[in-house]
Chains A and B, each alone.
Chain A
Amino acid sequence: MSDVLAVAEHRRGDLRPISHELITAGRELADATGGELHVAVISGDVEAFADSLNREGVDAIHTITDGEEFNHDLTVESLDALWSALDASYLVAPNSVNGLDYVPAIAQRLDLPLVTDAIGLSLEDGLEVTRERYGSKVETTVAVADDAGAVVSVRDGEWPPAEGVGDATVESFDPGVDESAIHSTVTGFQEVGAGDVDISEADFVVSIGRGIEEEENLELIERLVDATGATLAASRPVVDNEWLPKNRQVGQSGKTVTPDIYIAIGISGAVQHVAGMKGAETIVAINTDPDAPIFDIADYGIVGDLFEVVPALIEEFGGETA
């Protein structure tokens, strides 16, 4: 019998959706051994968060009232103390940006093996975690050979959110964190990506990725956009190279778009990009690689060279051909 501790995540007053997904993933692990599922929620309005986290399958919720927003030092110290008070074997946490900021540290602190970015879990002869490598091109299973347990971070959107109303006990936990253990200070938040255009409002988006190769080739896509009246967007590499401003970036760290039509050109479809555009009504992909993951979520596709297809498309709409 192994108990599981899941760690909820919130930001600026709201629980993030991964919190309810973690309950499902954590319950799966707990069920495999007949253990209990505990949930920890740290900082902010923990009472309200606990209400929302009290869903089917949760046995106990531990609220830690220190702090308002996420702080990794407070999180690591709190989880360390809570872990000592419980008798759990598995800690499941979000593979979010804030997860990246504390999960490796708590695993190191507890001297437990860590597997990150899980997309599947099984617990039979031991824990086995399914995860991707090489930017989603390869999937692997990783077996954990440690009787003491493990720390697993979970990719968002892979488990359905837990539903219903649970009958978990809700208890306040005082981790007794010493102020001297808090090293980093969050001084504020900043919205980025404001600017001339809000791509999240567009009905028709043409988005360009790494396949464009060179900055000067962007001009081709701009002519397509002019000819069709689409709104221009991009995946991360194009913005990292500063060929387009941050407000054009679609994906996990950029904007989420929900247009009627989204044309992904030269975009492989990494999970971080898909997170920002899977809500589009119709997705069209143009890519040279027939195995590119973008085709998994596309409704229509062209397997071909954008430098041939796009000029032909511009011509169709009577745009300027170079």
Chain B
Amino acid sequence: MQILVTVKEVGQLGDEVVIEDGEIAESALEYDLNEWDEYALESAVQLSEAYDDVEVVTATIGPERSDETIRMALAKGADRAVRIWDDALTADGAGDETPADGLLDTRVRVELLSAIVEREEPDLVLSGVQSADAAFASTGVALAEEIDDAWAAVVNDLEVDPDAGTASVHRELEGGIEELTDVPLPAVLTIQTGINEPRYASLRGIRQAQSKELTVLDLDDLGIGTDAVTGALETTALYEPETTSDATIWEGDAESTAGELAAFLRDSGVIEG
């Protein structure tokens, strides 16, 4: 069985938001493996430990910078990696490393990932529910539609029966309700945080990751023309939302603010004493 895991490197924002020329300043971002993909990867690695002959392959759309994140995924147990990048995917189409807004268009990501699926023919594709940056939450399900796989979105419990060729999943609905669904393989599942406990990479894993195969492909390799990666979406503005806080802020050191809160709680009658 082969499991393909989509792995995205995302920029994480700290407390400070710095916006320059309508984009988040590079200096305000720390790059890391997308949190949701981390859970998807762990699900895949656990399956490879539970069953014989399971190969875990990661698929990434991203510039060379992503290799560090991909190596981390390999260190956590993926067997090999594929990364797609091309100058045509950058903002200026000439290799500037800022990804183009074309990638906001789900159809562009699906075009690229479906080419990987065609090459690898996985039995199962695991994808994080969403990315932490753009948060479209659309890639996995749109990919499933494109490649004619079955699918399930927002999975927080997963059992795979490779012999029967089925996945039994729980989908985490709103309000503490889970939907129990059976999906035939091949399938694409989008994985929710909390489904498992993602492991840390071991030193041995990190060492081994260095020698694992990481294949880099461009549009030519995939037989995709540049027209197919021109999206219909464009970010026209990016700004910090107006804060609408009208909270009363208690000022002062910890003792005095705690004192204010304590007095408030006593007055409110929720506490005795």
Binding site for B on A (CB under 8 A): 11, 72, 76, 95-98, 100-105, 107-109, 111, 113-117, 128, 132-146, 150, 183-193, 203-204, 228-230, 236-237, 239-242, 246, 249, 252-256, 260-261, 263, 282, 284-285, 288-289, 291, 295-296, 298-305, 308-313, 315-318
The 28 listed contacts between A and B (C-beta, < 8 Å) are: A11-B177, A72-B141, A108-B145, A113-B106, A114-B138, A115-B233, A133-B133, A133-B135, A134-B12, A137-B17, A138-B19, A140-B238, A142-B104, A145-B232, A150-B232, A184-B152, A189-B178, A192-B177, A228-B271, A253-B174, A261-B268, A291-B17, A301-B249, A302-B249, A304-B257, A309-B258, A312-B255, A315-B258
**Which residues of B lie under 8 Å from residue A298 when comparing CB positions?**
245, 247
B248 adjacent to A113 (CB under 8 Å):
no
Contact between chains at A139 and B245 (CB < 8 Å): no
Given contacts A107-B106, A316-B258, contact A138 B237 (CB under 8 A): no
B175 part of interface (Cβ distance < 8 Å): yes
Q: Give the residue name and chain of the A residue nearest to B110 (CB).
A: A108
> Are A140's CB and B235's CB within 8 A?
yes
Shortest Cβ gap from A118 to chain B (Å) = 11
A183 to B153, CA, bound (A): 14
B247:A236 contact, CB within 8 angstroms: no
B262 beta carbon closer than 8 Å to chain A: yes
Number of interface residues of B (CB under 8 A): 84
Given the interface pairs A111-B107, A185-B181, A190-B177, the reply to whether A144 lies near B243 with Cβ below 8 Å is no
Q: Find chain A residues with CB under 8 A from B260 CB.
A: 302
Inter-chain contacts of A185 with B (CB < 8 A): 181-182
Cβ 8 A contact of B135, one of A132, A150, A236: A132
The listed residue (B154, B177, B238, B241) touching A100 by CB distance below 8 A is B154
- B156-198: contact bitstring with A at CB < 8 Å (1 yes, 0 no)? 0000000000000011111111111111100000100110010
Taken together as a complex, chains A and B put the C-alpha atoms of A193 and B234 apart, in Å, by 41
Separation of A11 and B173 alpha carbons in the complex (Å): 10
Given contacts A296-B245, A317-B273, contact A291 B15 (CB under 8 A): yes
Min CB–CB distance A192 → chain B (angstroms)? 5
Contact, CB under 8 Å: B146 / A108: yes
In the assembly, what is the distance between CA of A127 and CA of B17, in Å? Answer: 27
| CB pair A100 B254 closer than 8 Å | no
B142, A204: Cβ atoms closer than 8 Å:
no
B142 → chain A, closest Cβ, in Å? 4
CB distance from B21 to the nearest CB of A (A): 14
A104 touching B145 in the complex, CB below 8 Å, given contacts A184-B183, A236-B194, A261-B270:
yes
Pairwise interchain contact A296-B174, C-beta atoms closer than 8 A:
no
**Is A140 a contact partner of B264 (Cβ separation < 8 A)?**
no
- The CA-CA distance from A72 to B190 in the complex, in Å, is 14
Complex CA–CA separation, A145 to B229 (angstroms):
14
CB proximity of B106 to chain A, nearest CB, Å: 5
Is A96 within 8 A of B107, CB to CB? no
Q: Return the chain A residue nearest B248 by Cβ.
A: A300
The answer on a CB contact under 8 Å between B145 and A76 is yes
